[in-house]
Amino acid sequence: MDSRFLLISKIRALKERKNAIILAHYYQEPEIQDIADFVGDSLDLSRKSAETKANIIVFAGVHFMAETAKILSPEKKVLLPDLQAGCSLAESCPYEDFKNFRDQFPDHVVVAYVNTSAQIKALTDICCTSTNAVQVINSIPEKQKIIFAPDRNLGNYLNSLTGRNMVLWDGACHVHEEFSLEKILDIKKVHPKAKLIAHPECQKPILIAANFIGSTSALLNYTQRDDSVEFIVATESGILHQMKKRSPDKLFIPAPPIDSTCGCNDCKFMKVHSLEKIYTSLNEEVHEINLPKDIMEKARIPIQRMLEIN
């Protein structure tokens, strides 16, 4: 029997025996997406974490996502296959620095992207994802001043959409910061009919050039419903797997970063997971996510507010 097939069979048997569920983000490797019980973006995964009846959640994503799952399902055992699965955006917003920043604007409501640590969420009034950020911001009275953290590119984009003047924390995602407009335009010369679609965490020149801007799930849905057959995709390349599965007759070209030999742009943190690590984590129930009770209680409030609005 093929060793890969055997490993997948073992993982599935463990899931059934232990009443476990595997949640995977769109940016995971294709083989991890294919074995997952559910694949989605941050908002989808938050919902699923809150709803699941499983005893164990194996989270094939990054650390803040596994924390969110634990916050929403504190009675569950949440496992992260590799604890090195961090997030450059979350790490760009350290707790003490952000607390001092927030204290400078005592009359501001804090809207924090889910791409933050549990500690930052505990300092937050309401969370959002790129899928529901406009809806969350529009739920706040127009006269109420807002701090938005941690992604400055998303924050600037949201200011332009909502007409707000939110105070922005100066953070960014290493994947979405590194796309090269020059290389994208070179691709357009070869594929003149290709549409550029971009995540709002990208820098402004990319967003200006884009034919469509949206969250990961919104980009996926757009490629399904749009008549175009060629797309240049400016977000983490893992999403191309789902795009190809849903629209096998279309061409999806990963937008290249400024410096790359492969022409793609992967999240080094998302890609640390593997089938082997998932098996070990679930089999031995190791790399469990645990958080202080007070942090979980404080962080749960802004997440639940987000889910209620959505």
Contact yes or no for 86/173 (Cβ under 8 A):
no
Amino acid at 198: A
Overall CATH class of domain 3-85+270-289:
alpha beta
pLDDT confidence of residue 1: 57
Domains in the chain: boundaries:
3-85+270-289, 89-173+297-309, 179-254
Which residues is 110 bridged to in the sheet?
147
Q: Is the pLDDT of residue 183 over 90?
A: yes
* pLDDT tier at 258, thresholds 50, 70, 90: confident
What's the sign of the alpha-carbon dihedral 215, 220, 226, 231?
positive
What is the sign, positive or negative, of the torsion defined by CA atoms of 141, 145, 150, 152? Answer: positive
Q: Give the DSSP H/E element, type plus range, for residue 122.
A: none
For strands 109-113 and 195-198, give the pairing. Answer: unpaired
Q: How far is CA 80 from the centre of its chain?
A: 15
Query: How far is Cα 122 from Cα 119, in angstroms, rounded to an integer?
Result: 5
Could you read off the pLDDT of 6-20 as tens digits, one per residue? 999 999 999 999 999
Whether 24 has a pLDDT exceeding 90, the answer reads: yes
The matching CATH number, chosen from 3.20.20.80, 3.90.1330.10, 3.40.50.10800, 1.20.1070.10, for 179-254 is 3.40.50.10800
What is the percent of the chain where pLDDT is above 70?
A: 98
pLDDT at residue 264, as a whole number: 65
- Please give the CATH topology (third level) of the domain spanning 89-173+297-309: Rossmann fold (3.40.50)
Query: What's the confidence (pLDDT) of residue 43?
Result: 83
Domains 3-85+270-289 and 179-254 share a fold: yes
Query: pLDDT tens for residues 157-168?
Result: 999 999 999 999
Give 303: exposed, middle or buried? Use CB within 10 Å, 0-12, 13-18, 19+: buried
Range 95-127 burial, b when 16+ CB lie within 10 A, else e: eeebeebbeeeeebbbbbbbbbbbbbbbbbbbb
Supply the mean pLDDT for the chain: 95
> In this structure, are residues 30 and 45 in contact, taking their beta carbons and an 8 Å threshold?
no
| pLDDT per residue as tens digits for the range 33-64 | 999 999 999 889 989 999 999 999 999 999 99
* pLDDT above 70 (res 260): no
Residue-wise pLDDT tens digits, 299-310: 999 999 999 986
Q: 3-class DSSP state for residue 203?
A: coil
**Which structure tokens are listed for 186?**
């070179």
- The model's pLDDT over 64-87, given as tens digits with 9 standing for 90+, comes to 999 999 999 999 999 999 999 999
Q: Which CA distances in Å does 283 have to 15, 56, 134? A: 9, 11, 41
Q: What pLDDT was estimated at residue 204?
A: 97
Mean pLDDT computed over 241-267 = 88
Q: Is 215 in contact with 41 (CB distance < 8 Å)?
A: yes
